[in-house]
Amino acid sequence: MNEEFYEREIVTSGDGSFTIFLPHFNEHYHSHHGAVQESQHVFMKMGWEEAIKGKSSISILEVGFGTGLNAWLVYEASGRTGSPKVHYVSLESFPVDVSMAQQLNYSDRVEEFTMLHTAPWNESVALSDSYTLEKLQCSLLDFVPSGKYDLIFFDAFAPRVQPELWTKDVFDKIFNAMNPDGILVTYCSKGDVRRNMIAAGFTVEKVPGPPGKREMLRARKM
C-alpha cells in the first residue's frame, strides 16, 4: 500500500469549500483557489454541459473518484428536468475513508453525498432512477474498459505526482474506450500532456481554466 497517499488532511480552499491535502507530495485534491468552483467549471461547464447535448443517456468515466465531488455534481445535475440518465464509472486506487468524506462541506444533503462513499466498490449500483454509480478500486493502468464512454473526467493527480497516468499509451487506451464525438476534460494544460493526447488521436483545444488557472484542456474523439 502506498502510505504516502493515505497521509491526508482536510483543508479549506479559496471558495470556502474543503479539499484534501497530501503533505508527502505537497498536493491538493482540488485547486486551492476553490474546490467546488474548479469542479463546476472544469468538469461540469466544460465537460458535462457539452457532452449531454442531444443525449437521453450518457456514460461517464472518471479517473480519480477522490472526494466524490465530481460524482456528486453529476448526481445533482442528473436529477434536473431534461437531464440524461447517467452511468458513472469512477476509478480510484486510494479511496478516501467514509469518516473523512463525511466531514466535507459540498452539500447540505449529507446523507445523499455520503451514499456515494458508502456504495460498494466494484459493483454497479442504481442510486436514483437517473444515476447509476460504478466505483472500481483499481488504477487506470490496470483498468479494462467493459464499454464505451461519452465523457471522460480526467482528474488524476498532477503529472509530477503520477506521471505514469499522463502518457501517450494511457491516452491511447482512453481514446479506444470512447464513443465517437466523446469528450475528455482535465484541469491540466501542460504542453507534453496536450501533445500526448494529440498523438493518441484526439482533437485538443485549450479553453479558459477555472479561477486561478488561465487554461485547461478539452479533447474530442472526432
How confident is the model over 43-67, as pLDDT tens digits?
Answer: 999 999 999 999 999 999 999 999 9
| 143 part of a folded domain | yes
d(CA 22, CA 7): 6
Q: What does each C-alpha distance from 169 to 9, 89, 149, 173 come to in angstroms?
A: 32, 20, 18, 6
pLDDT digits 0-9 by tens, 128-158: 999 999 999 999 999 999 899 999 999 999 9
| 10 part of a folded domain | no
Global confidence as pTM: 0.97
d(CA 166, CA 40): 22
| CATH (domain of 138) | 3.40.50.150
| 43 part of a folded domain | yes
Q: Which residues of the chain have pLDDT under 70?
A: 1
CA 101 to centroid of chain Cα atoms: 16
| 195 part of a folded domain | yes
| 66 part of a folded domain | yes
| 119 part of a folded domain | yes
Q: Which class for 148: exposed (0-12), middle (13-18), buried (19 or more C-beta within 10 A)?
A: middle
| 79 part of a folded domain | yes
| 95 part of a folded domain | yes
Domain containing residue 170: 34-220
Domain count, the chain: 1
Alpha helices in 40-154 (DSSP H): 49-51, 69-78, 98-101, 110-118
